[in-house]
Amino acid sequence: MLRSCWIALLLSLLPVQGEAAALIEMRIHGTPVRLVADRAGDRALLSAGDMRALFDLPGGSVYVSSGGTPRRVHARFRPGYADTPYRVELFGAGPVLAGFVTRYHVLFVGEQICAELMAASWMTPFVDPAIRALGILEALQPPPADPCASVPLTTYAAVGWPLIAGKIDHPTLETLQIGFDYQPRDDELALPAAFEEGDLRQLRELAKAAGL
């Protein structure tokens, strides 16, 4: 009962839908990535290196640019895109990371330990557009022969947003900062007025730039 009241209090302190977006600064395999998750508009903005991509999730389009005219690529997040042999078990309380309390999970394939995970489950609704945007990029790659070799972020995110995931002494995902009161510029999440048609090559370049 106390835990439910505490979660309700946290949610009441967050901006209501439409007022703000979530801003995430993280590292994916050591690569700095910036994500804006707009829950109200169901869009996500990803920046990595000199590449920028706006994910229009309801429209099924990704607008990819690297300084020139954006390229529009048709792509949708497909739940259950690949078989998932993973099992995630909660082991208890985790440390405070990036200013937030986490819970400690262990990820298995069969009886083999693949990874550890510190996550915050209450964040999921507020960062869901970012999860689906990264899921679109991850789906470009065939599943590895060894499922422990490359665990999808969407697998980690099944139990909450990952503050740290992978091996604790060598994380593959690390959230450096996350805030829920980000005010995007008027044009930041707007669909581009001019663009050219692209293809999956632009998404593969984006995935590489983002460390995926």
Q: Does 130 fall in a domain? A: yes
Residue 15 included in any domain = no
CATH of the domain at 161: 2.50.20
For residue 118, the model assigns a pLDDT of: 94
Tens digit of pLDDT at every position of the chain (212 positions) = 444 434 444 444 444 444 689 999 999 999 999 999 999 999 999 999 999 999 999 999 999 999 889 999 999 887 654 566 888 899 999 889 998 999 999 999 888 899 999 999 999 999 999 999 999 999 888 877 788 888 888 888 889 999 999 987 788 999 999 999 999 988 899 999 999 999 999 999 999 999 98
Residue 162, judged by CB atoms within 10 A of its CB (0-12, 13-18, 19+), counts as buried
Flag whether 119 is in a domain.
yes
Give the integer Cα–Cα distance in Å for 110 and 88.
11
Is 59 within the bounds of a domain? yes
Side chain identity at 110, as an amino acid letter?
Answer: G
Q: How many domains does the chain have?
A: 1
In-domain check, residue 164: yes
What residues make up the domain containing 78?
21-209
Task: Say if 95 falls within a structural domain.
Answer: yes
Residue 11 domain flag: no
Written as six digits, the tokens of 128 are 């869901």
Q: From residue 91, how far is each of 1, 26, 56 by CA, in Å?
A: 21, 24, 36
| Distance from the Cα of residue 184 to its chain's centroid | 18
Structure tokens at 164: 């740290």
Instruction: Give pLDDT, residue 77.
Output: 80
* Main-chain dihedrals φ then ψ at residue 41, nearest 5 degrees: -90, -5
pLDDT at 3: 46
